[in-house]
Chains A and B, each alone.
Chain A
Amino acid sequence: MSGAATLRFAVPGSVLVGGMMLVRLGCGVLLALLLLAARPQAWAAEEEAYGYPFTDPYEATVLGTPTAYRADLPKQVPKQDLWLEIFPDRKVPELFWYNEKLNVSVVRQRHKAPLIFNIAGTGAGQNSMLMQMMERAFYKGGFHVISLPSPTHPNFIAAASETQVPGPLMSDARDLYRVMQKAYAAVADSIEVSEFYVTGYSLGAADAAFVSYIDATEKIFDFQKVLLINPPVSLYDSVDILDYMIDFIPGGPENFGAFFNSLLQKFGEVYSRTDSLDFSGDFLYEVYKATKPTDQPLKALIGISFRLSSSSILFTSDVLTHSGVVVGPATRLSSTDDLTPYFKVSTRLGFLDYIDDLVLPYQQRSDPKATLQDLIEVNSLHYLDGYLRSNKKIGLMGNADDIILADGEFDYLADVFAGPRSKLYPIGGHCGNMPYTQNVADMVAFFKGEWGQ
């Protein structure tokens, strides 16, 4: 889900956002207006007091937090990359030679301290921008950190997923729990841990909830604190919302080429007027200020970003399981083969197709009666309702305007995590406000046990 929030390819993200202005509202005007009108007005005063700059959830989701509003964090932290062998007997196909071992990273304190496991959002690696930001924040706060890719990241699917069909939260959590043990074992000699915590953002937050649930019986880490940042409630609802956003490409998904070129063109115009060649950080914000985009291209961008993630998941899983969805079941691809045709086909399919063609058939192999409805029910925080309500060690950071939540889901989260164990922000979109000073202070304060004091 953070595919939407994190434009992982720094340049392409910028390139894409560059031309938002050119693109004008076509269909979907009405819907955008309705969505805006539906935002609760009561928050207005709070929005101002909060101080995060974007009141539009789509702007927040795409643009994140401009430098002036970001928490001041160390530029470099003593970080070590680990390459873990999770299933020693597993043969990863040559096409995915680079994904044979799982890449996780560890940041150590020199003294005894709590260790935080951090889980990335949909399709994101352990090294995504948000993961690095959190790593720095937690390091500065005095914690050890082990950063883990999302179970939906191709590296994880190839190297660490037991089923190689990620998505179902309980089996993903079992995979994560196994990885956490291997990662900790790899560093245990060089790290002094007082207690263990777990967190994650977006899909990683839902993963963290399920990991915590498993740990409640397994007790290997006995997590003392668990923080969920911008979790989905029902995975299916969120995926449905994000899948649909690709339709906001003006003229429909078939018009991607024209949209891409117009964005590129606009980006070039802004680039030629700008002195700096640095595309990181605020360049995107500069482009935004110059172009004043409307919601429609922003939604299209979120949709494209999510589609790139979901097509990667679908293709990777299909190759590894020989399911014959986009690659012939007997076809064996190598690293010199032309993958472009598979890219074209995979990007025509959404996450819901992935569920229909890979996740559900996989479930039906062990339980022939399994239905889509069963999947929807178990892949939701509702499934852990009682556990989440009764375990006060689990905290929540949520945004009232989070775009991945369906009607009523934010209220549900506010109810489950009522009281001092939740921080609810009036704005921020999906993960857009995570690097904001107050949010960073809040996430560190949670693990220091300072909430509700």
Chain B
Amino acid sequence: MSFLTLTDVSKSFGDLQAVAGINLSVEKGEFVSLLGPSGCGKTTTLQMIAGFVETTRGRITLDGRDITHMPPNKRGLGIVFQSYALFPHMSVEQNVSFGLEMRDIDKGERKARIRDALALVRLDAYAHRFPRELSGGQRQRVAIARAIVIAPPVLLLDEPMSNLDAKLREDMQFELRAIQRKIGTTTLMVTHDQSEALSISDRVVVMESGRITQVDTPYRAYERPENDFVSQFIGKANMLAGRIVAREGDTIRVDLGNDLAETGSMSQLPERGRAVGVGDAITLCIRPEKLKLCAQGSGRLPGRVTSRFFLGSQWLYRLDSRAGEILVCCQNEGKEPLAEGDQVGIDWHSDAIRFIQQEGARV
């Protein structure tokens, strides 16, 4: 039973259509991320749910109630703004207390709830500080405390990590997830950072140009991208263009040019894709960590290392091959890495391949 439902929600600003026909169901207690590049409409969608932007079309339902035209100060949602929007003239305690005061909660209960919220975000000792005396990470936690202390039906997070530096961002991601698990609030997060979305969401909603392209668990979105956009936005991918030359039942044979060919099964195509036939253009997609490097002469494709990057836990190699540039990621096993100029062989499991259909490609 969906807790928060968006039905055919759209938003146009004059001629510009920012959001076009969003349909989304979020279950109670779920952590869902709206993921996409800037301008994809994710923030606008969040603002429509919050009530700061009017929908042009469509309906938003919360726990059975239609809130599409409800003013923002009646919806009672918990929001963490990108800039945190802490009240600078109020202390941490007063900030967190504000939402409770608006609900006429009596003093005793207020104090107790504030204490619990601040303990949850580990800011108990900072209750009397002012925002300008806090670091970025601390301000973010105040913003979170302020949003959850009111026990909202839904928690909305607008790019909550974008103002934090890299290390802090990682730590906060885990902490945010832990908090959400603990209080069980339905949460919707907007982000452009795909690794963040993948690591802490129950489901990921990939958006592009105002539309939803794919809704899946992080694992499936990564392993079974529906199209070009998703496969390249989430993680890195090697994309090889090809054409279907034969089809027998469940098996297809794809010609990739340059004397390369692959055989795959229908299960490696997007689940919700169109029907395919012989002659269709199709793209082979394989993730860098699924490629193996072996000695020169073996493997399916010879290649030459053009540059290498050390990523701590992994080595990323760029290779030149007759199929173009190939990216390969190897675990750092403490062994001697390859050097630039080395000739190697690239190999992969047929199961590791995915096929992506071109948008609108029809013969």
Q: Is chain B found bound to chain A in the same assembly? A: no
Chain A residues packing against B (C-beta within 8 Å): none
